[in-house]
Amino acid sequence: MSAPGATTYREALRAAHREALQRDPRVFVMGEDVGRYGGAYAVTRGLLAEFGPERIRDTPLSESVFVGAGIGAAIGGMRPIVEVMTCNFALLALDQIVNNAATLRHMSGGQLGVPLVIRMATGAGRQVAAQHSHSFEGWFAHIPGIKVLVPATLEDARGMLWTALQDPDPVLICEHATLYNASGELAPNAGAVEIDRAAIRRAGQDLSVITYGGSLAKVLAAAAELDREGISAEVLDLRTLRPLDDRTILESVRRTRRALIVDEGWRSGSISAEISARLMESGFFDLDAPVARVCSLEVPVPYPHHLEEACLPQVEGIVRAAKESLGHG
């Protein structure tokens, strides 16, 4: 429940949907339970009553065809927003996302653009066990032809959808499932945001902590703790995993000379591995310490609370890794 005057991440997303549906008659929403149920994460609740079943379309449990139909509808002149309940289920539509949405423009020599937005929940932290808890946004970030957005703040939850809808190419928005209840003040005039730049969420001099999405709050909490111990951490929110904003990352690391990446994905072959590699390639001589990473343990996310906690990046581990990077191990 949000405090008076406050908005939740979910409400910010819903406002973004409402605005998009009002502004552009080509926009429609489709996915499992987006209508009568109101969305598995209640993002679309109320929209069916407001916009009707033509524009808020409940689909069968058929990820591949409704994502593919989103592609066809986008080619056919519409601006679909497809909600896939979670990124775990998006794997059933991987063929359509990777082989069609991401590929058609190139394969057709520039003739076919796919202005499609696919939203999905990602991430762990709610004890829903492995098949509902994985973080695949880093995988999607591997694919040329799509963009991958990871809104961590209310402003981005409110603003990224419209920006994504303006994009002539397919855009994935991965929303961390623990963020939907996050609340805070959101300016009434909040609107579209740029999606091509990472954001410095907290300035600092001693090291750069690079993160995104559901880990941002943990990183900010760790930065506050480090601050009490006299360590000044800069916190960088990637906001977009593809394309990566190398410039902001490198500029920050050039200032602080130390980098710690916090990513809820698995370490092997992850987006954090990619960022680390880029820092080696372009920022090696700016570094005073090896690039450090805090990722999820390499196990399917377990159900019991204590094991799930132990599996995921946590404030304590982030603080420890930051100190190690600074040589205060």
| Catalytic annotation, residues | 63, 132
| Shortest distance, position 308 Cβ to another protein, whole Å | 31
| Shortest distance, position 259 Cβ to another protein, whole Å | 28
| Shortest distance, position 31 Cβ to another protein, whole Å | 12
- Determine whether 23 is exposed, middle or buried from the number of CB atoms within 10 Å of its CB (0-12, 13-18, 19+): exposed
One-letter identity of residue 243 = P
Which CB contacts under 8 angstroms, 24+ apart, belong to 107-112?
Answer: 112/75
Summarize as ranges the residues that interact with another protein (CB under 8 A). 28, 54, 57, 59-60, 62, 64-78, 80, 95-96, 99-100, 104-113, 144-145, 167-169
Closest to another protein by CB, 108 vs 131, is 108
Provide the edge-to-edge strand list for the sheet that holds 259-266.
Answer: 199-202, 233-237, 207-211, 259-266, 292-296
Phi, psi of 37 (to 5 degrees): -75, -35
- 150 and 104 in contact (C-beta within 8 Å)? no
Closest to another protein by CB, 9 vs 28, is 28
Closest to another protein by CB, 168 vs 304, is 168
| Shortest distance, position 306 Cβ to another protein, whole Å | 38
Closest to another protein by CB, 28 vs 180, is 28
Measured CA to CA, the distance from residue 51 to residue 123 in angstroms comes to 30
Measured CA to CA, the distance from residue 98 to residue 108 in angstroms comes to 15
Which of 16, 38, 42, 39 has the alpha carbon at shortest distance from 180? Answer: 42
